[in-house]
Amino acid sequence: MKHLLNNADYFLKEVKAIVRINLLSNILSFISTALIFFILAMVISGWWMSNHVIAVIQGEAEINAYFAESISSAEVIQLADAIKRIDGVREAQLINEGQAYARMVEILGKEARVLEYFDENPFSPFIEIKIHLERMDAVLAELHLLSGIEHVRDNRDVLERLRNLAGIIRFLGYLIVTAVGISTLVIISHIIRQGIDNNREQINTLRLLGAPESFIAFPFLLVGLLLSIGGGILATMLAAYALRYVYAQVAGPLPFIPLPPRETLVLNLIILIASLSTFLGIAGSLFGLFAAKNNQ
C-alpha cells in the first residue's frame, strides 16, 4: 500500500500515457462499456419494478365475495362470520356501496370525474376477504359452498400474468448480466493487452531493473478500472435520467401501478453498477494481463 501511495503520481502519469497512446480505441471502449451497462441498468430496473408490483399485489391478496341483493343485513353479517371461520382467511369485512364508490374515487384520482356521469352509484356491496395467499384455492372452494354467495372475484389471473411477465424479465436479466459480463471482460482485457503491447519496451526495461510484476501491472489495472467504472458511472447517470422519464410517463396516466420509490431504485442501481463495474474492471484487466503474459 505504501508503495502505491509513494508512486501515486507515477501510476497516474502512466495511466494517462497508456490511454493517450491508443486514444480512439480507449474512447470507443469507454462508450461501449457505458452503453452495455446502461442496457443492464434498464433491464434490472424493469426486473425490480415487476418484482415490486408482484410483492405489493401479493401482500394485498384478497378476494371479493358478492352476495345476492335479496338477503337481509343480518344474513350478510352471518355470512361474513362464516367466512371468517374458513381456514386461510385472515379478515372478512363488509364494504357497502358508498365505501366501494369512495375506494374507486381514490384509485382513479383525477380520472374519477368519469364516475360523475352515473346517475346512481354503480357499485355493489361486497365482503372483502383478506387471505393467506398459499390457501387461496382452498378458500375459494369453501366460499363456493356457502349459500348466499353469488359471485367471487379474485386477483389470481392478474398475479399469474404478472408472474409470467416477471419471469420473462428475470430471464432477460440473467441473459443481459451474462452478456454484460462477457462483453466487458472482452473489451477491457483486449484494451489492456493492446496497452501492454504498445508499452512492451518499457515493461522489459522495468523487468531488467527488477520491478515487481505487481508494480508493472498496476497502471494497466487502473486503466481497466477507469474504463469500466467510468462506463458504469455514465450508464448510471443515463439510467437515472431515463427512469425519471419512465416514472413521469407511468405515474401520471397509470397511478394504480405500485412502482417502487424512484430514489430507492436509483440508489440500488448505483450500488449494483458500481460493484459490477469494479469487479468486471479488475477481472478484465487481470485477464488481459495474464493473456499478455502467456503471449510473451
Partner 1 sequence: MIEAKNLCLRYADGTLALHDINLHVEPGELVYITGPSGSGKTSLLKLFMGVEFPTSGTLKVLDHAVTKGQASNIRRLRMALGPVFQDFKLVKGRSSLENIMLGMRFFGFSSREIKENAREALIRVGLEHKAESLIENLSWGESQRVSIARAVVRKPALILADEPTGNLDRDNALNILEILKACKNEKTAVIITTHATHLINENDGRLIRLNGGAVERTDELK
Cell numbers for 218: 498496476
* Residues in touch with partner 1 (CB under 8 A): 2-3, 6-10, 13, 17, 201-202, 204-212, 215
Q: Please say which residue, 127 or 289, places its beta carbon nearer to partner 1.
A: 289
CA distance 89 to 2: 65
Least CB distance from residue 26 to partner 1, whole Å?
A: 17
Q: Please say which residue, 2 or 110, places its beta carbon nearer to partner 1.
A: 2
Q: Please say which residue, 1 or 114, places its beta carbon nearer to partner 1.
A: 1
Q: Please say which residue, 161 or 293, places its beta carbon nearer to partner 1.
A: 293
**By the 8 A CB rule, do 137 and 97 touch?**
no
Least CB distance from residue 213 to partner 1, whole Å?
A: 8
Least CB distance from residue 222 to partner 1, whole Å?
A: 15
Helix (H) or strand (E) holding 153: strand 149-154
CA distance 154 to 288: 56
Least CB distance from residue 191 to partner 1, whole Å?
A: 20
Q: Please say which residue, 208 or 254, places its beta carbon nearer to partner 1.
A: 208
CA distance 228 to 281: 5
Could you tell me the maximum CA-CA distance found in the chain, to the nearest angstrom?
99
CA distance 211 to 203: 9
Cell numbers for 111: 380520472
Least CB distance from residue 12 to partner 1, whole Å?
A: 12
